[in-house]
A and B are shown apart, each in its own frame.
Chain A
Amino acid sequence: MARTITYMKAINEALDQEMSRDPTVVVFGEDNVGGHGAAGEMDAWGGVLGVTKGLYAKYPDRILDTPISESAFIGAAVGAACSGLRPVAELMFVDFMGVCFDQIFNQGAKLRYMFGGKAKVPMVIRTMWGAGIRAASQHSQSLYSIFTHVPGLKVVVPSTPYDAKGLLISAIRDDDPVIFFENKVLYTIEGEVPEESYTIPFGEANVVREGDDVSIVGVGRVVHMAQEAAERLAADGIQCEIVDLRTTSPLDEDTIYETVEKTGRLVVVDEDNPRCGMAADIAALIAQNRFDDLQAPVQMVTAPHTPPPFTGSLEDLYVPSADKIAEAVRKTTGGKVRARA
């Protein structure tokens, strides 16, 4: 039975159902409960934006608050995963990765490889990302490209409530370290989500809109902007195909190739900064592997090479938008056109 719930609730539900099913699933992070040691209520926050609220009442021994010491508790997630638990640790804002990145990329990501296959690290790190709430430079970044870059990690970036629940359940059941990116602006969007538990495989992109003319590939919040752009462009006779990657590692290269083979025109949209990001990654793959299918150069729509600004008017210029995506699409349809081979 599907019903309409928010992205945030879908995540809460995934955690609840997995904790119910598997006693080795344990959730922890800063204020995942809230109220410990204080004179007021317990579960005072349930996560800074309330994503984990209600879990404490059901699983008081398996949802824990941590002191503000990411390198210790993210590292603890690694160690716990090696020794019998399936931890879901929260890195509250991905912008905080700097204080604990070693435990993620040098320890968690590499133990299996360095130990010749004898270790496995079935941990999930949930983290908030994204600009749009005027939280400024240190609370608004994307950064999934940095995690994607690291062999040994899997990176999941859902754009809808349905995807968020299914992918999180998959993440928890996955035997490898998974970084689960939750877009903070998307927490309140609603969508159809089945009540029952279900999984979505990693490395399988979702074609959210079909079209013959131009492929738009993106992940996270920009998928919604692409849909908005596609509506407008359809009125001008340009049919866009939109591919939501859902996971950047593993990456569904096949679907990207298929869509480029089909349309010959590619716009890659990424809210992240441009250097060494997902947009550049995908553009390079196409340049190397599907050059002859291209009718026009790949267009990349990304944030500029700046930190996210504070003021609303500037932040709104920082993130991609339906307008910028539409403009990029038009660039691929105008200009020099190569005949198909």
Chain B
Amino acid sequence: MTTTAPPDQASKQQLLEWYRTMRTIREFEERLHKEFATGEIPGFVHLYAGEEAIATGVITHLRLDDYIASTHRGHGHAIAKGCDVRAMMAEIYGKRDGLCHGKGGSMHIADVDKGMLGANGIVGGGPPMICGVGLSAKIRGTDQVGVSFTGDGGSNQGTFLESLNLAAVWHLPCVYVVENNGYAEATSVKYHAGAGTDIVKRADGFGLPGVVVDGHDFFAVYEAAGEAIARARGGGGPSLLECRVNRYYGHFEGDQQTYRAPGEVEELRRTRDCLDLFARQVTSAGLVDAEELRRVDEEVARLIDDAVADAKAAPEPDPSDLLTDVYVKY
């Protein structure tokens, strides 16, 4: 045994941190699913449950001063980027002390100070902004990176395709992640993508490399994203990372998902759950005990309980908040 240490020698502490992030996203979303059904949460909510390995596996490579732009399904990215979970919950409940002071809600949840340029109510709204992040890093001479998340649906939007081209032309330090969960709202990717589900090939068409990985497998996402982000940061230019995954919940909360086969979601939860897979891998490898994972589960459950209780009890914004923050100065 004489080889050099490979880059994936993660410590127990690191493995538990990754697990905690994924578990936090999962519990946040599962809890929201329950709470939304009570009618107390205003507006639209789009849940990320099932896709946690992607947000976690990608964003763990990013620094605080790197930026991400998300989709309408943005809670997972926000949590992985370090947004405060309680403030997020308060925001979703529309409260004054929410992450956006109740002005954004679930679809626009953001924390620019943490490099999270927001969930976005417009499909395809994010990728061009990430081009801008890349341009900014290049002009200012930093090694910051921009990562954009788009769904399979959003990958048909002109903004996404234009952004791939612009990133290639300007050789930007950006990674375009496509979370292909098989559905654009109620329409399967088998219908809505003309080249079938061969979304990764769009990268080649614009002059950047593209890779497909299994989005349920944290380590696969982690490895491929690590290469893509290192490439961008090192001046190697943009790339596209397509992660094949599944979502458990509907396009929005309230969507009965009748477009999916009966039992489809149950089967996925049983056989392809990213948290189960991760847990199996790290315990089989003898690196983490099942007990340690359970402890994380309990801590996360408490965190989410507290976040919900606090959010429900928190005050609403002041009426005068309606008029604030339209401009820096008008």
- Which A residues contact B (CB, under 8 angstroms)? 24, 26, 61-62, 64, 66-67, 69, 71-85, 87, 99, 102-103, 106-107, 111-120, 151-152, 154, 174-176, 203, 250
With both beta carbons as reference points, the residue of chain A lying nearest to B159 in the complex is identified as A71
With both beta carbons as reference points, the residue of chain A lying nearest to B121 in the complex is identified as A106
How many Å lie between the Cα of A99 and that of B158 in the bound state?
Answer: 9
With both beta carbons as reference points, the residue of chain A lying nearest to B113 in the complex is identified as A118
Given A111-B118, A114-B103, A118-B112, A75-B327 contact (CB < 8 Å) = no
Contact B132 A78 (CB under 8 A): yes
Q: Which of B100, B101, B128, B139 contacts A61 (CB 8 A)?
A: B139
B226 proximal to A (CB < 8 A): no
Residues of B within 8 A of A83 (CB): 67, 132-133, 136-137, 144, 146
Given contacts A75-B163, A83-B137, could you give 9 more A-B pairs where the C-beta distance is less than 8 Å? A75-B129, A76-B166, A106-B122, A111-B118, A112-B326, A115-B100, A151-B326, A152-B327, A174-B328
Residues of A within 8 A of B159 (CB): 71-72, 75, 102-103
Contact A78 B139 (CB under 8 A): no
Q: How far is the CB of A117 from chain B (nearest CB, A)?
A: 4
Residues 127-168 (chain B) with a chain A CB within 8 angstroms: 127-133, 135-137, 139-140, 144, 146, 158-159, 162-163, 165-166
A–B Cβ pairs within 8 angstroms, 17 of them: A26-B139, A64-B135, A69-B166, A73-B166, A75-B127, A75-B128, A76-B163, A85-B132, A103-B125, A107-B129, A113-B325, A115-B100, A115-B104, A116-B100, A116-B103, A118-B111, A152-B326
Contact B113 A85 (CB under 8 A): no
How many Å lie between the Cα of A87 and that of B69 in the bound state?
Answer: 19
Given A69-B162, A69-B166, A71-B159, A117-B325 contact (CB < 8 Å) = yes
Residues of A within 8 A of B129 (CB): 75-76, 78-79, 82, 103, 107
Give how many B residues have a beta carbon under 8 Å from the other chain's beta carbons: 49
B57 proximal to A (CB < 8 A): no
Residues 274-330 (chain B) with a chain A CB within 8 angstroms: 324-330
Q: How far is the CB of B44 from chain A (nearest CB, A)?
A: 14
Residues of B within 8 A of A114 (CB): 100, 103-104, 108, 110, 118
Q: Which of B135, B324, B327 contacts A85 (CB 8 A)?
A: B135
Contact B131 A76 (CB under 8 A): yes
Contact B125 A107 (CB under 8 A): yes
B62 proximal to A (CB < 8 A): no
With both beta carbons as reference points, the residue of chain B lying nearest to A102 in the complex is identified as B122
With both beta carbons as reference points, the residue of chain B lying nearest to A66 in the complex is identified as B166
Residues 89-132 (chain B) with a chain A CB within 8 angstroms: 98-104, 108, 110-113, 117-118, 120-122, 125, 127-132
How many Å lie between the Cα of A76 and that of B174 in the bound state?
Answer: 12
* 6 shortest interchain CB distances as A-B pairs: A75-B128, A79-B132, A79-B129, A116-B101, A80-B132, A72-B162
B169 proximal to A (CB < 8 A): yes
Contact A84 B136 (CB under 8 A): yes
How many Å lie between the Cα of A103 and that of B128 in the bound state?
Answer: 8
Residues of B within 8 A of A113 (CB): 103, 325-326
How many Å lie between the Cα of A87 and that of B134 in the bound state?
Answer: 13
Residues of A within 8 A of B325 (CB): 112-113, 116-117
Q: How far is the CB of B9 from chain A (nearest CB, A)?
A: 33
Q: How far is the CB of A259 from chain B (nearest CB, A)?
A: 22
With both beta carbons as reference points, the residue of chain A lying nearest to B117 in the complex is identified as A82
B259 proximal to A (CB < 8 A): no
Q: How far is the CB of B129 from chain A (nearest CB, A)?
A: 3
B191 proximal to A (CB < 8 A): no
Residues of B within 8 A of A116 (CB): 98-104, 325
How many Å lie between the Cα of A160 and that of B237 in the bound state?
Answer: 43
With both beta carbons as reference points, the residue of chain B lying nearest to A70 in the complex is identified as B162
With both beta carbons as reference points, the residue of chain A lying nearest to B66 in the complex is identified as A83
How many Å lie between the Cα of A113 and that of B121 in the bound state?
Answer: 14
Residues of A within 8 A of B111 (CB): 115, 118
Interface centre among B103, B112, B132, B170 (most CB of A within 10 A): B132
With both beta carbons as reference points, the residue of chain A lying nearest to B317 in the complex is identified as A116
Q: Which of B118, B127, B136, B329 contacts A80 (CB 8 A)?
A: B136
Interface centre among B100, B113, B131 (most CB of A within 10 A): B131
Residues of A within 8 A of B102 (CB): 116
Q: How far is the CB of A331 from chain B (nearest CB, A)?
A: 35
